[in-house]
Chains A and B, each alone.
Chain A
Amino acid sequence: MPRSQFPGGRSPGAGLRRVSALASLSVGVVVWVALLGPVIALGAHLSYGATRASLAAPGALTPLVVSLESAAISLAVLVIGCSPLAYLLAHDRLPFARLWEAGMLVALMMPPLVIGLLLVFMVGPLTPIGRGLSDLHLDATNTLFALVIAQVYEAAPYYVLGAQSAFSTVDPRLEQQAGMLGDPPRRVLRRVTLPVAAPGLAMALAVGWARAIGAFGAVLIVAYHPQGLPLQIWTTLEERGLAAALPFALLLLLVALPLPLAAYAWSARARVRR
């Protein structure tokens, strides 16, 4: 069969494909610019003087440390506490799996402010849980502990559903074959499940991190102190106005973005390699 039946090796379909590719690219650019609109506006409205004044004020960077510290703890809690749940959900090992998933969706759809209000009823100092925590010298009101609780509640549904999706990409036959070859379950998990699910898990981690470090609604209610970056942005806006608050929004972007970006890049490369 000849390579092409048309002069120059072109078919009418090739032109159509090129137009279609151009249209897709244009739509992609429009969507990308629209999504980045707020970030572009942020860049346009930042002034060097206001940024320098805001970031150089005494104690201005303490919330950055609080945010990094609390989000790192929250991420550890998510990985250790929520990954097994995601694994069991993905492998249908839990009774009433649909009920568990429905519960996760309810938590996902709950406005963060409402989560905070409900946490007050659950872990407030005069509740049974609050009294129990007090016996352990823990306080779930205006403490780092309270901040982590709020972040975990805001981020957990995103992480669990993302991790569940990642684990469900693992073909169960692979795990079964590894088991038949004599690998104990823990080894199957380490050598088969986790490597195959890793790209998806990386993305779930990235989403969990972004939700934790950017948590605001629940945090506002249960942890006005110690202030992380989202609350600092709000109080600075209330106290000193927009120009003073925007530099902290930039700071939040700068510290929150590298992990998701790295996870995305690694995940994309890992998928291509397959």
Chain B
Amino acid sequence: MARRRRAVGTVTAALVAGILAAGCGSPAGTGAASTGTASTGAARVSGTADVAYAGSLQLLNDTVLGPDFTKATGAAYQGRGAGALGLSKEIASGEITPNVFESIGSAPITALEPRFTTWYVQVAASPLVVAYNPDGPDGPELSRIAKGARPLSDLFTLMATPGFLLGRTDPATDPQGQAFYEMVELAQTALHLPAGTAGKVLGSPSNPTQIFAETALESRLEAGQLDAASAFLSQAVQLHLHYIALPATIDFGDPSLAGTYARAHVALAGGQTVHGVPLVVDVTTLGQTDPAAATAFVAGLLSPSGRAAFRSAGYQLLPPTAFGQVSAVPAVVRRALDG
């Protein structure tokens, strides 16, 4: 009996410890900080590059760009990933204080102007694709569309079929969620689909049967519990997902087609209407903490090895260009822009 009571006591103690220790799961990834010791390559700098990046840039930053930066400069790197719009809000409210911000689309950065920054640099495009489950009921047909054996319009006809399990992210919080909604609108016109197809595919912008958190969307597709889902090309490449590529006119990956993309729009629950914009990786530095490390990190992204890392990860390189108050771009970054 005493042994039994001791066992219960142990379990109770574990319960109390668990209650104290347990926290909510977090949707935002937080990259491990690394401290560099190497001394080759770029000039050595001190401090930490504290990088906030759109969630889809997590793998590239934490496994390639961050470690490479530390190796080349000796400075520390730490990263945090979440929806770019949410990160922008958190920066504006002072909840987080990164010194580098990588966004998908410039809107989350321009929302911080002029208090936190006045410029940003365009790095690469992140076009949309439709990732699919090859083992699902419609897997064979989707594979044929991916290979070009069936026309792309079949994809939208299939997605409009009742019972098709489509997943996308929340347009209210995620640029990808907005772009996917707008992509289907553009596809209806571009692919000459019957009127009403977009509505049948998507339902309302916040259709509860289709909207998932970004983390959940990827894992659901990998677990084979969706027929198809919205994704960036980079995510599909990095996660080895099967995907159907889309033409530039609807994939939001070509900045020269900004006018075309702007024709599509999505009305958010709060009454705000958002028009389509190119999905481009934009980066800037913020604040006064460790500016040397921050600018060195951005210069690293624009270096030949940084651009090669973006290309390998499934991004489409764009000519590095500065926007906003170009005169405010730090000299180190300007030199990297000039090649």
Interfacial residues, chain A to chain B (CB-CB below 8 A):
59, 90, 92, 98, 101, 104-105, 108-109, 111-114, 116-117, 120-121, 124-127, 130, 141-142, 157-158, 161-162, 164-165, 168, 172, 207, 211, 214-218, 220-222, 224-226, 230, 234-235, 237-243
* A241, B87: Cα distance in complex, Å: 9
CA distance A225 to B69 in the complex (A): 40
- In the complex, B319 has a CB within 8 A of chain A: no
Given the contacts A108-B14, A117-B219, A220 and B225 also touching, CB distance less than 8 Å: no
6 contacts between A and B (CB under 8 A): A116-B25, A125-B165, A161-B11, A168-B8, A217-B25, A224-B170
**Nearest 9 Cβ contacts at the A-B interface:** A217-B25, A113-B25, A124-B225, A238-B86, A225-B208, A241-B89, A216-B24, A238-B173, A242-B93
Quick check: is B95 within 8 A (CB to CB) of the other chain? Answer: yes
Q: Which residue of B lies closest to A171 (CB)?
A: B1
Q: How far is the CB of B167 from chain A (nearest CB, A)?
A: 10
What number of A-B contacts does a CB cutoff of 8 Å give? 135
Q: How far is the CA of A20 from the CA of B258 in the complex (A)?
A: 72
- Does B192 belong to the interface (CB within 8 Å)? no
| Chain B residue, CB-CB nearest to A104 | B11
Smallest CB separation, B59 vs chain A (Å): 17
**Complex Cα spacing A158 to B15, Å:** 7
Contacts of A225 in B (CB 8 A): 208, 211
Query: Among the listed B1, B15, B173, which residue makes an inter-chain contact with A161, where contact means beta carbons less than 8 Å apart?
Result: B15
What residues of A have a CB within 8 angstroms of the CB of B4 in the complex?
A: 92, 168
Cβ-defined contact, B225 with A120, below 8 A? yes
Secondary structure at chain A's binding surface: helix, strand, loop or mixed? helix
Residues of B within 8 A of A161 (CB): 11-12, 14-15
- A105-B14, A126-B224, A142-B211 given; name 9 further pairs at CB < 8 Å: A59-B269, A120-B220, A164-B11, A220-B25, A221-B216, A230-B24, A237-B90, A238-B86, A241-B90
- Which of A104, A112, A121, A162 sits near B24, CB closer than 8 Å? A112
Residue of B at shortest CB range from A142? B208
Distance, CA A120 to CA B27, complexed state (A): 16
CB-CB under 8 A from B25, the residues of chain A are: 111-114, 116, 216-218, 220
- Docked CA distance A92–B4 (Å): 9
Query: With the chains together, A124 CA to B24 CA distance in Å?
Result: 22
Chain B, interface size category, equals 35 or more
A158 touches B19 (CB 8 A): yes
Tell me if B116 is interfacial: C-beta within 8 Å of chain A: no
Contact of B172 among A113, A125, A235 (CB under 8 A): A235
Complex formed: what's the CA distance from A98 to B3 in Å?
A: 12
Which residue of chain B is the closest to A244 with respect to CB atoms? B89
Q: Are B15 and A165 in contact (CB under 8 A)?
A: yes
B27 A220 Cβ-Cβ under 8 A: yes
Q: Is the CB of B208 within 8 A of A220?
A: no
**Complex partner residue of B136 from A126, A130, A168, CB under 8 angstroms:** A126
Contacts of B215 in A (CB 8 A): 113, 220-221
Q: Does B194 contact A (CB under 8 A)?
A: no
Contact of B8 among A164, A215, A221 (CB under 8 A): A164
In the complex, which residues 42-84 of chain B have their Cβ closer than 8 Å to any Cβ of chain A? 82-83
> What's the least CB distance linking B137 to chain A, in Å?
8
| Chain B nearest CB, measured from A261 CB (Å) | 16
Contact A120 B216, beta carbon cutoff 8 Å: yes
What chain A residues lie within 8 Å of B269 (beta carbons)? 59
Interchain CB contact under 8 A, B8 and A105: no
Q: What are the interface flags for B127-144 relative to A under an 8 Å C-beta threshold, 1 for contact and 0 otherwise?
A: 000000000100000000
B14 cross-chain contacts in A, Cβ below 8 A: 105, 108, 161
State whether the Cβ of B190 lies closer than 8 Å to any Cβ in chain A. Answer: no
Point out the residues of chain A lying under 8 angstroms from B174, CB to CB.
238
- Residues of B within 8 Å of A234, CB to CB, are 27
Are A224 and B26 neighbours in the complex by a CB distance under 8 Å? no
Chain A CB within 8 A of B18 CB? yes
Are B12 and A101 in contact, CB atoms less than 8 angstroms apart? no
Q: Are the CB atoms of B86 and A237 closer together than 8 Å?
A: yes
Q: Which of A104, A224, A226 contacts B216 (CB 8 A)?
A: A224
Given contacts A105-B11, A120-B219, A230-B24, contact A224 B211 (CB under 8 A): yes
Per-position contact with A for B200-220: 1 when CB-CB < 8 Å, else 0?
Answer: 000000001101110110011
Give Cα A79–Cα B15 distance, bound, in whole angstroms.
18
Contact B11 A101 (CB under 8 A): yes
